[in-house]
Amino acid sequence: MIRERMECKMARDFQTADSIQAQLEGAGVDVHDGMKEWRADGQQWRRSERKYNERPSRESRGPKTYYQRGPGKTLSAEQIETITAMVAERSECKAVADYNRADEIFDQLQSEYNVNVDDKRAEWALLSEEYLLNEADTSFLPDEDVQTKIGKLLGDRILARKCRDFNKADDIRDELREDYLVEIDDRSKDWVVVAPEGARWADDNEEGDDNIVSKQEWDEEDDNEGSDESKDDADIDAFMEEVLGSSKEEVSVTEDEVDPSSLDEASLMALTVPELKEILKSKGLKVGGKKAELIERLLN
């Protein structure tokens, strides 16, 4: 029975392992997992090379106190109270070796409330909140919607690991890294957003396109500029053409024909986006952004 129990624990079949342990204890057999020994003489365990210490029984230890981890954003105060009571009842069942009832409560917490219990840390939490954002160390604070998506993926990863589906768990970890730049610390059970490799996050007061975070992206953006115009730019050009009563060709101005410093806002508005970008390039200025941003850059 002891060997069967160990095989169950290796396979993470803790329900069967606990059931076997209960049978052994009922027969007067006490198993010490740390020392890998068992005894049925009714004597107390002694710690190796230490003073003799009595090994407390489950009854003398009493039920463990569990604490809530995370804010429980989707839970009402009444639900939190109910869950807390269920977790306490489960702890009492484990203290008296009623593992069947303890497992029933565990399954109910997960199916009805999406709650997981961490016996080692004596905590319970929503699956989406078991891993928390480390705001002190994260390099970027995602908005609430993104945090919710990340929490859902982290909860799915917890379930995959519980089912020993480590391939799925690894796939979710990779998805979090690639799509959200999220790194997970399983020991502290928190996560952070990291800066892309070879890049940095722009300062709030730094000019430039918010989506440019690395030299590679900057070069790619520069190569693609001028290939097409945004809908907003096209609408502005059409409006100016209608107001001025002229076509793009009639108001087309290049750096060779006009001194950029002599252009006022109205003149710049009459130019197309590619023409504005050519002027910006001639002045050594950045050429990314919408038409209004290009004009503002030239005026300043």
CA distance 153 to 139: 20
Checking if the pLDDT of 84 tops 80, the result is yes
Pick the range with the lowest mean pLDDT from 176-185, 202-211, 259-268, 270-279: 202-211
Enter the tokens of residue 130: 């078991």
Cα–Cα distance list, 24 to 10, 12, 19, 21 (Å) = 18, 19, 9, 5
Query: 74 phi and psi, to 5 degrees?
Result: -90, 5
pLDDT in tens, 133-174: 999 999 888 889 999 999 999 999 999 998 889 999 999 999
Least Cα distance to 110 among 123, 99, 126 occurs for 126
10 Å CB burial of residue 129 (0-12, 13-18, 19+) is: buried
Identify which has the larger pLDDT, 49 or 263. Answer: 263
The continuous run of DSSP H or E covering 39 comes out as strand 37-39
pLDDT in tens, 18-55: 888 888 888 888 887 766 778 887 776 664 434 444 44
Pick the range with the lowest mean pLDDT from 88-102, 195-209, 232-246: 232-246
Q: How confident is the model at residue 254 (pLDDT cuts 50, 70, 90)?
A: very low
Checking if the pLDDT of 249 tops 50, the result is no
Number of neighbouring beta carbons within 10 Å of residue 154: 22
- For residue 263, give every residue at least 6 positions away whose Cβ sits within 8 Å of its Cβ, in sequence order, or none: 253, 271, 279, 298
Residue 235's pLDDT is what?
57
10 Å CB burial of residue 111 (0-12, 13-18, 19+) is: exposed
- For residue 273, give every residue at least 6 positions away whose Cβ sits within 8 Å of its Cβ, in sequence order, or none: 226, 229, 230, 233, 237, 291, 294
Q: Which of 195-199, 220-224, 275-279 has the highest mean pLDDT?
A: 275-279
Residue 52's pLDDT is what?
40
Checking if the pLDDT of 177 tops 60, the result is yes
Checking if the pLDDT of 85 tops 90, the result is yes
Share of the chain above pLDDT 90, in %: 38
Mapping DSSP to helix (H, G, I), strand (E, B) and coil, where does residue 37 land?
A: strand
Residue 220's pLDDT is what?
54
Least Cα distance to 115 among 83, 91, 147, 93 occurs for 83
**Are the CB atoms for 191 and 150 separated by under 8 Å?**
yes
Q: In terms of pTM, does the model score above 0.85?
A: no
Return the DSSP state at 252. Answer: -
Mean pLDDT for the chain overall? 78
Average pLDDT over residues 78-102: 93
CA distance 242 to 250: 12
Name the β-bridge partners of 68: 124
Name the β-bridge partners of 31: 38
